[in-house]
Structure 1
């Protein structure tokens, strides 16, 4: 059964849940539209999927007036960056100041908007089972609705756990989740003191306050210019801020788009990807210093480039992780900084009981790793004697600290050292040569001498695990580049990406799903009107004068209606994105396409979930399957309002 333009328009005009007031369109341009959208070989792709980049225009070229004080972030908590795409869609992708709610208390108006048919499960599958002549007795055992939560493990590439011989975990933000903003403030405050006391930065830096809510993962820091960027999968800069100030559309395009030279890939020196939650500290401190340099009167900062300032921020934050500033405080009060998860120990033991080797691979050094893991293992702060026993190591077949990822995954010449668990002292090893010299069962004998190590490289790890192919290993981590992208691209390891932000992203998506559906319907309507108008333009060249005048009036009406739709789309899209984040919008999306962050998650993370222990909710025999993906032509053909009209090929 096909849907007409009339019914689509009526549904949208009659809907008041998605907008503050219903859109009002003239019916004139719809009266002569085809009843179904026909698909031919020369049919254009939807406006949002053009392969050519047309001119871009800004929703707003001006930015708000601002204070010259370096401590002004609260004044700009609601400032928006321009967020434009093609000229005829420029307002659709701009963010808004105020998030919206949909239905009572911000909840979706009905579960059907997310889960489809909420009736009996047999009814949902009856047609396909009948057409395939399938009798599935176990169907009646299924619940009427499949329940989805952020505790689920989501799949981008099919994976069977019973094909995995070893599973590895990062520690920070993977096995060890942190209390925010308490943990970040340790690094932020420590870095401030180092900048002032060791490097001579102005004393006003000590007054800086940390706000972790300002940032999201997936942004890019342009350290040479002091800019923060959100880009899409095509490396087009969708949003840009200088410090905390939005950059106008024209300026953004002049910097990152309008050039005959090579377009930036954002992997060059000077660009830093915010792939981990640790980098929120770097970003906020750097943005505050950019503001101080621009609007303060400090000769010290005037003499330094943005790039030099960022480098010193990075060095000071990194030093806080290495010199004991953070470790000592976490050891003193672990309850304040670490999150206990009662699923951690059962998950790790479950894998070992099923014959899967379990390893810890972390960039943290032994002293901090021991502190954090002892707390997670005993679920309380332990005394010095208990700390030295390191009973938590019984959860792992192999422990590697100080790994220096991503170098660990690509440099075959890094040396392996054995760690003495009681005091953290190091001993040299001959690595692969020593394992080979031990003869048959060399890896097992090597680990019997001690299973805790520092450094080394993937060759040592795979030899000790006795794996023969990268696909036999799955690595679980929170760092998109160092844990996921590099291990998969270089070694062929399977990967599971940890996203603590996922529960909030899913909650908001669920609350905004009706609005999103309306937005996508309006975009589809614009596309159909545009294609119909374009057909008339072509026919006008062959029509009589009177016919041509009639067509011209129809086109004028379509263009008028298109403007009304565009205005509503602009409002709706701002509301939708601001619900996720008042400045950066939905994390996985830039405009109507994947953000670069979303693109990398989709292409390099075999699995992703909100926390590592969610893996323990699946048995060792679980098979994860992907959801289908469609290209634009298949997507359009799948719509009930389209009809394929190509002639049959003989």
Structure 2
């Protein structure tokens, strides 16, 4: 796959390349990892929040959610929203809502994403959360006698349980004990990293994972493939663990220095030097290494936690890793014939609409007699075309996610997720190894985007 460009990025000016770890530097078998998260979170709901044991029978289906969805916590709905914040697809639990049902709830209004009733699904780590919440909504509706909490409270309980599973070792201990099952080794990523070093690029890691987990994953994914460095700690000038992103980019937090051999920590309030740390903050990194914000390129997978806050607060250059992007591009290419057929049918529909307009003009402007049957016949032809288009759209979308279609589009418009990518990510890609196709000094330039009147 390639690297896709939203704004000019001259790699000759980049002195430091920083990386998130999870789902960026380290690739996961996301289906298996989210299934593990799903079941561990179920256990937490039962043990910590007194949910009925029958929820342990819930089944995990990775295709039930995609990145970029919006959870309406109050109504128990999951929404796909366009860049204009208009709802294009909606499910109540796992049941798709018709257009009329959507209109009854939302009256065609835009979704205010700043409203705390709405929660964005920004990362692959949120897939299990969404699928679990949807099934709880179904259960509450089907069995009111269970007296499950209100939808919003259930959403908060799921958040609590997923967060606890991440914090208490339930997930990370299982991953560390079964690395081959949950983590993907990618030799090409290591080759890209060492190639960057040959071009005098400094490499940093800024991750929300703790040191022991970070070490276990990097020992497994990086060390075996190194040729010019003895281990990942020599490869990376700075490693920041438990960074608490996005607060790392916006707040000044204490810095601890980590002893890589013992994992013991001590307070550290002097100028940073190469090594391993916990916490701290972005502007200290930048100032202590005497860098301008636009000399640092940071790669992450979380549009909000890694990209948006960083871009606004620090002015670093940004790159988003979207692991499902390769499937999207392949599906897009494989459905080109369907897209062409839809476009042709749309042209036929527009032609019929124009003919109807002419008949109405003939009647209302020129006071000429118009045969009503001629008008009705054209409306019937449009209805037939609409049915064909609807079937083709279903076929088209089934090549992407069977429930939600494309990640990057909501109907014919870009999705709200795609609009955030375009606005805040300088470049984006499927995985770090996509850099292997380009020189580390490359000047990335976006293609000229045509405005509506230029097309």
TM-score scaled by structure 1?
0.65
- Contact 2:324 2:430 (C-alpha < 8 Å) held by counterparts: yes
Q: Distance in 1 between matches of 2:353 and 2:454?
A: 20
What do the CA deviations read for 1:84-131 (whole angstroms, capped 9, x no partner)?
xxxxxxxxxxxxxxxxxxxxxxxxxxxxxxxxxxxxxxxxxxxxxxxx
Superposed CA RMSD: 2.3
Work out which of the residue numbers 111, 117, 135 in structure 2 matches 1:264.
Answer: 111
Deviation at 1:532, TM superposition (A): 5.7
Secondary structure at 1:495 match in 2: strand
Q: Distance in 2 between matches of 1:539 and 1:557?
A: 17
Q: Distance in 2 between matches of 1:222 and 1:254?
A: 15
Q: 1:591 maps to which residue?
A: 411
Q: Distance in 1 between matches of 2:30 and 2:334?
A: 24
- Contact 2:20 2:206 (C-alpha < 8 Å) held by counterparts: yes
Q: Check if 1:286 corresponds to 2:286.
A: no
Work out which of the residue numbers 213, 218, 224 in structure 1 matches 2:63.
Answer: 213
Q: Check if 1:521 corresponds to 2:344.
A: yes
Work out which of the residue numbers 9, 19, 23 in structure 2 matches 1:159.
Answer: 9
Q: 2:199 maps to which residue?
A: 354
Q: 2:175 maps to which residue?
A: 330
Structure-2 change in CA distance of 1:632 and 1:405 (3 Å): same
| 1:48-447 equivalence runs, <5 A | 151-257=1-107, 263-296=110-143, 299=146, 301=148, 304-379=149-224, 391-411=231-251, 413-430=252-269, 434-435=270-271, 446-447=272-273
Q: 2:277 maps to which residue?
A: 453
Q: 2:447 maps to which residue?
A: 627
Deviation at 1:557, TM superposition (A): 5.8
Deviation at 1:195, TM superposition (A): 1.8
Structure-2 change in CA distance of 1:429 and 1:594 (3 Å): same
- Contact 1:505 1:580 (C-alpha < 8 Å) held by counterparts: yes
Secondary structure at 1:452 match in 2: strand
Q: Distance in 2 between matches of 1:527 and 1:283?
A: 39
What do the CA deviations read for 1:466-523 (whole angstroms, capped 9, x no partner)?
212x222211111111112222233222211111111211221111101101212332
Q: Distance in 2 between matches of 1:362 and 1:397?
A: 14
Secondary structure at 2:208 match in 1: coil
Q: Distance in 2 between matches of 1:558 and 1:300?
A: 53
Q: 1:484 maps to which residue?
A: 307
Q: Distance in 2 between matches of 1:536 and 1:199?
A: 65
| Larger Rg, first or second structure (1 or 2) | 1
Q: Check if 1:570 corresponds to 2:410.
A: no
- Contact 1:201 1:300 (C-alpha < 8 Å) held by counterparts: no
Q: Distance in 2 between matches of 1:241 and 1:370?
A: 40
Q: Distance in 2 between matches of 1:365 and 1:562?
A: 59
Deviation at 1:239, TM superposition (A): 1.4
Secondary structure at 1:583 match in 2: coil
| 1:459-478 equivalence runs, <5 A | 459-468=283-292, 470-478=293-301
What do the CA deviations read for 1:165-210 (whole angstroms, capped 9, x no partner)?
2111111111111114322233222222222223322111222222
- Contact 2:359 2:370 (C-alpha < 8 Å) held by counterparts: no
Q: Distance in 2 between matches of 1:525 and 1:630?
A: 25
Q: Distance in 2 between matches of 1:166 and 1:625?
A: 20
Deviation at 1:276, TM superposition (A): 0.4
